[in-house]
Structure 1
Amino acid sequence: MAIDLSVELVAVRHGITAWNLERRYQGQQDIPLLFPDAEAGLLALRDTLAGEQFDAIHSSDLQRCQQTLEWAQAVKPGTAVSLEPRLRELDFGEYEGKVYDELKELPHYRAWIDSVGELQIPGGESSGQLRARLDAWLDDLAANARAGNHRKVLAVTHGGVIRELRRRFETIHFWDGVVAQAQGRRWQLIYQQDAQGKGEWQCSSSSAVPALESVTP
């Protein structure tokens, strides 16, 4: 495969909501950010992204992500911004609005936990269905990057989405992919396309957003 393009992708999770604090499954419920609790994380994210110029920005269309993007002040003149339903959180179906103690005795919930998210949630999605819509989004990301000469892209999204992207690009275990609110990951990606036009993203490096502080021994 020949190297077709190189893109730096920064994916950040939305700020804190009331349901985050209550440990409720939010899924695709359109829950707003909680203030003043969310403010410290959002200001830290703003500082982290200050001075960075993104060629394109994609945001989940749910309001907690749109609010996070507004606080981040990452949209500069001329930046293409897309509201993207495919960047929504996993659809938790019947689990949305509930906490662990309300679900732990349900057989289908226990089976879902044991499957590491691979089973389809009643009325919702499976991890495979989430990956399928992310794959479609990543295909479009490649096409748009090529057409618009995008070399640096920001995605404002949800914890479950970043978990799946980490599993794809960092080959880590499901339970190791958690990122906190108003934090995320930075990946240097290479898109390779074969003679038949089939493309594939590969990751050459990854790091935390904000960057982890180095510890001097």
Structure 2
Amino acid sequence: MAAADRLELVVVRHGLTRWNREHRYQGHRDIPLLLPDAEADLDRLREALADVAFDAVHCSDLTRCRQTLAHVLEGRAREGELASPRFDARLRELAFGDYEGQTWAALKDDPDYRAWVDSQGRLATPGGESADDLWARLSAWLEEVQAEAQAAGHRRVLAVSHGGAIRELRRRLENADFWGGVVGQAQGRCFTFTCEEDGWSCSSSSAVPAPASATS
């Protein structure tokens, strides 16, 4: 198979959880989807990706992402369309440490919390990670995806991850604002990479699912 010089990487956020609804930091806590409330958004995502063929599938190892992936790919396994998903802890959310399970309302007067918010991720959360820590594991994963694409001829790859992880990808690949790069539940981005002599670069990105005005 010819080496790929162009790769579409679709990275989507898991569906709604109870902690999302309660505005609690989840981080590495293994919180399941809030069903059936999450299903409407998951259905829209599945419909948006229904006709998209993927050469490889990656997923955070946490339950909410596994459930999201199962919903999105329902029926495809029976048709033999996909290789087995790869569950990877490097795709997890930022580890919020002591803030996991807490809400903004409970933390807003804590000076350490205010310092973390004001740092836009440069500081690590107490007992958790900084944005650089998150990027270190995401970039290692991304390099492997790109290397495999070039070796195996992959053209399109799906990954199910978390809001903070997608925000960091957008910050690094799109130069998005730290707080402005957030996507909603069961939404994400399609990053298009091209491979030149000096390696891979992100040439464009777009919303997944596409906004209604873009599909009408």
TM-score normalised by the chain length of structure 2: 0.91
Residues 139, 176 of structure 1: CA spacing in aligned structure 2 closer, same or farther, 3 A cutoff? Answer: same
| Match runs of 1:127-146 below 5 Å | 127-146=131-150
**Cα distance, 1:133–1:40 mapped onto 2, change above 3 Å:** same
Q: 1:43 to 1:127 in 2, by over 3 A?
A: same
Alpha-carbon distance, 1:78 to partner: 5.2
1:176 to 177, 180, 183: 180
The answer to whether the aligner puts 1:11 opposite 2:11 as a matched pair is: yes
Aligned 1:21-40 pairs, distance under 5 A? 21-40=21-40
SS at match of 1:120: coil
SS of residue paired to 1:176: coil
1:214 aligns with 2:213: yes
CA contact (8 A) 1:184 1:208 kept: yes
Write out the 4+ residue segments of structure 1 that deviate beyond 6 Å after TM superposition. Answer: none
Please state whether the residue corresponding to 2:15 is helix, strand or coil: coil
Gaps of 5+ in 2: none
CA contact under 8 A between 1:4 and 1:192: conserved in structure 2? no
Cα drift, residue 101 of structure 1 = 1.7
CA deviation profile, 1:111-139 (whole Å, cap 9, x unmatched): 00010111011110000000111110111
1:84 corresponds to which of 84, 88, 91: 88
Deviation at 1:144, TM superposition (A): 1.4
> Secondary structure, in 3 states, of the residue corresponding to 2:192?
strand
Q: Which runs of 5+ in 1 are unaligned?
A: none
The two structures, once aligned, show a CA RMSD in angstroms of 1.6
Whether the 8 Å CA contact 2:59–2:161 is kept in 1: the answer is: yes
CA–CA distance in 2 between the matches of 1:154 and 1:45?
A: 12
Is 2:109 the partner of 1:105? yes
Among all aligned residue pairs of Structure 1 and Structure 2, give the percentage whose two residues are the same amino acid.
57
Displacement of 1:193 after TM fit?
Answer: 4.5
Please state if 1:123 is matched with 2:127.
yes
Aligned to 1:20: 20
Question: Are residues 105 and 111 of structure 1, via their aligned partners in 2, closer, same or farther at CA, if it must alter by over 3 Å?
Answer: same
Tell me the alpha carbon deviations over residues 26-77 of structure 1, each in whole angstroms, 9 at most, x when there is no partner. Answer: 0010000001110100111110110111000000000100000000016552
Report the alpha carbon displacement of residue 192 of structure 1 after superposing the two structures with TM.
3.5
How many pairs align? 208
- Give the Cα–Cα distance (whole angstroms) in 2 for the partners of residues 159 and 108 of structure 1: 22
